[in-house]
Structure 1
C-alpha cells in the first residue's frame, strides 16, 4: 500500500472519528510517521487536530492496520488489531471503571496512553491514542542496553499492571474467565509463521558452539540439552494455575517511552503501549522478555534486586486494591516461576537483541518483504549484521548468567 493510499485511508478514518465525536470545524496537521522497520503490521501516523473555534489542539497518533493482502492472508494481522482493541475497549475500561468506584483514590493504568478512538472494521482496523511524544516522552537510545535504574522503573510499571490484573481477577473471577478465550496465545503462532522460531534455533546453536570453543563445556552441555525444548519455552505456561495475569507479551524497547527532565539523564517516568499479542500467562513472560532482551550485565548481576523491587510494587498495588498478594502470588512463587519460565526470555532475546542492534539501512520495508504474495518478515534479520560481534557478546553474557544461576 503506497503512501498516497495510506494518507487517503488515514484522512477517511479521521473524518469518521471526528464525526462520531461530534467535532466540527477543524484542521488536520500530519506531524510524521513511523520509521522503517518500526512496525510490519501497521502504519503509525502522528497528527494534530486544531479546533477553528478556540484553537484548542488534540495531539494524537493513529495506528492503522496495513492493507497488504499477502500480509493479511498469511499472518495474524487482523487478530492482532482485534486483540489490541479488545484490550483497550474491554479489559482496560473494565479494570479502570471497577477500581474507580471501589478505590477512587488509587490510580490505575497510568502507565499506558489513553485511547481516543478505535475502529474494528475489517480492512480499516485502527486505534487512535494520545501522542505521548507531544508530552515530552521519547524513545530509548538505540543500541544502548538499559541500566539498573531504568530497568527497575519499567519493571515497577509492569508490577502495577500485573498487580491490578491480579486484584481484578481475584475480585471478579467470572468476568476475567470470560476474557480468557479472547486472549489465546497468538504471539507463538506469529513467531512460527514468520520463521523466527527457526531463526532462533540457528543462533542458539551458535551460542552453544561458542561455549564449546571457549572451553566452557559445562554450559555448552546444559544448553544443548535444552535445544529440543525451545518451542515449548515460547508457549504459555504449561500449568493453567501459573497463568495468573494478562501479559503484555511484546515488551521490547520500541514499545516503551521515557520522559526525561530537562538536563537530566534519569527518566522521571515511563509508559508502554502496543498490546496486540497480550495473552493470559505467567508474569515472568513479561519480566524475562524485557530484562533478558534489553538490559546490561550490571542488571543481570543484580537480578535478585530487580525482582525484589518488582515484587514490592506488585504487593503494594494488590493490597491497595483490596486483595492479599501472599494468597495470589508470593515472592517464593515469583522465584519458582522464574526457574520454570525464565528461559522464555532467553529465547526471546535471540530475536530482541538483534532487532536493537540492526542499523536502519539494513532493514527492508514490509512491502519489499511480501513480494510475490509470500510473507517473509524474518528475512531482514536472517543475515550477518554489522553489529554481529556485539550481538553474540551480549548473548554469551546472558546465557552465562542464566546457565550458571538457574540450571
Structure 2
C-alpha cells in the first residue's frame, strides 16, 4: 500500500509537473487533471527490483470526457534495512540503467528497439525508474522460465549478437565517445563483499553439479575426476572469481548487458503462429558493464536453455550468434566481410566463450534452483531468517531446491564445458 500511495500520490504528479507525461497541444497555463492511476505489481519471483504496471489517465479541463492514457512500468526498490540496501548496490544498479537509456542506446541509434525511458530518481534508501510498458506493444516474456525451445534461443542470440556488434562498431568508429561512456561505468554487482548467507550458498551450489556427475556412472566414466576437482577449486572463492572474469580483456571487451537471460528479454510473436517468436527486446540494464561479450552468452545459455537442446544444437546456436555479430559490423561500418578484423573470428569468440563458461556455470548453480522452484523473495524476511537460522540452513536448502532436474542441468553444463575444452585443447580457467 505504501508503494501504491507513493506512485499515485507523489510520483505521477511529479511526472506531470515536469511534463514527462503530458497532453500534446496543452499549453503551460492549462489545467491537466489526473483522472486515475491504476497500480499493479508485476510478479516476477527472484526480481531484485519490484516492477509495477502503472496505467495513468489524464484529461484537459476543457475536454474532461477525452482521456489520454499512459502505460508505464515503475521499477522501485523494495523496503529493506539500510545495510541490505547498500549491499545490493541499488544506487549503482539504477545508475547503470540510466547510463544505458541515456547514453548507450541513443549512441547505437535504435531507441525504438528498447523500452521507452521516461524518468529516474535515486535517494538514500529508494531508487525509482519509469519506463514504457512494452506489453501494450505486443511484447511479452516467454511462457517458459527455463529450457527455452530452439526457436526462442535463436531469436535471443541473434538480438544479442546484434547488440554486441553495434557496440563493437561504436568502439571502432567513435572510440572517443565509447571511452567516455565506458569510463563512467561503476561496478554494479561485485564491488561490495557478499552477505554471509548468500556467499555460503554461492560457494556450495557448484558442488551440486560435480556431485551429480560422480553419482552418474556413465558421466563419471566420461569426465575425469581432475576436471571436477578443477571446477570445485575455481568455485572455492566465487566472488573473486567473478571479479576476475568481469575485468575487460582486449581486444574483445565491449559494452555488454551483464545479465542477459530469459527474465530480462521480451519476445514478439507471429500473429499466425502465436508460439513462434520473431523479435526480441532486451531490458533491465542494471548490470551494464565493459567486459567480455561471452559473459552475456554464457549466462544466457547456462540459465535459460536446457541441456537437451543446448548440447544438441550448440554449434548452430553459437554460429547464429557469431554470424549476427559479423553481419552487424559489416552493415554498421559499411565494410565487406573480408574487411572485418580477424579479432572477431569464430575461433576467437569460441575460445572466449570457453573462458567464460565457468562464470555461467557458477551463476546457474545458484540461480537454476530459483528458476525451477520459484517463490516470492521477501528480502527483509530473508535477512531476518538468516540472522536466526545461520548459513548452514540455507546451504542445505540450496543443495536440494529445484530437485533432480537442477542436478541434471548442472551435470549437463559440466559435460558441455568438458567437451568444449577438450575440442579446443585448452584448460579450464
* TM, length-normalised to structure 2: 0.82
Residue 371 (str. 1) matches residue 390 (str. 2): no
With over 3 angstroms needed to count, the CA separation of the structure-2 counterparts of 1:405 and 1:376, relative to structure 1, is: farther
Q: Which residue of 1 aligns with 2:413?
A: 398
With over 3 angstroms needed to count, the CA separation of the structure-2 counterparts of 1:172 and 1:197, relative to structure 1, is: farther
Unaligned runs of 5+ in 2: 23-31, 61-65, 423-429
Deviation at 1:37, TM superposition (A): 3.0
Q: Which residue of 1 aligns with 2:40?
A: 32
Q: Secondary structure at the match of 1:192?
A: coil
Spell out the pairing of 1:8-407 with structure 2 (5 A cutoff): 8-11=5-8, 12-21=10-19, 23=22, 24-35=32-43, 37-40=45-48, 42-53=49-60, 54-68=66-80, 69-96=82-109, 108-189=110-191, 192-193=194-195, 195-215=197-217, 216-217=220-221, 218-230=223-235, 231=238, 233-235=241-243, 236-237=245-246, 240-242=249-251, 244-262=253-271, 264-296=274-306, 297-322=308-333, 325-327=340-342, 329-360=344-375, 363-371=376-384, 383=397, 387-407=402-422
Offset from partner CA, 1:257-290 (integer Å, 9 cap, x none): 2223345211222212111111111110000100
With over 3 angstroms needed to count, the CA separation of the structure-2 counterparts of 1:242 and 1:382, relative to structure 1, is: farther
CA RMSD of aligned residues (A): 2.9
Counterpart CA distance in 2 for 1:131 and 1:377 is: 40
Counterpart CA distance in 1 for 2:324 and 2:389 is: 41
Query: Mean alpha-carbon deviation: is it higher for 6-15 or for 203-212?
Result: 203-212
Counterpart CA distance in 2 for 1:373 and 1:350 is: 20
Larger Rg: 2
Give the conservation status (yes or no) of the 8 Å contact 1:194–1:375: no
Figure out how many residues of one structure are paired with residues of the other and give that number: 390
Q: Secondary structure at the match of 1:39?
A: coil
Residue 5 (str. 1) matches residue 2 (str. 2): yes
Counterpart CA distance in 1 for 2:155 and 2:196 is: 32
Give the conservation status (yes or no) of the 8 Å contact 2:94–2:127: yes
Counterpart CA distance in 2 for 1:33 and 1:301 is: 38
Counterpart CA distance in 2 for 1:163 and 1:326 is: 12
Give the conservation status (yes or no) of the 8 Å contact 1:233–1:347: no
Counterpart CA distance in 2 for 1:301 and 1:219 is: 22
Counterpart CA distance in 2 for 1:269 and 1:353 is: 25
* TM, length-normalised to structure 1: 0.86
Counterpart CA distance in 1 for 2:388 and 2:43 is: 20
With over 3 angstroms needed to count, the CA separation of the structure-2 counterparts of 1:194 and 1:300, relative to structure 1, is: farther
Q: Secondary structure at the match of 1:352?
A: helix
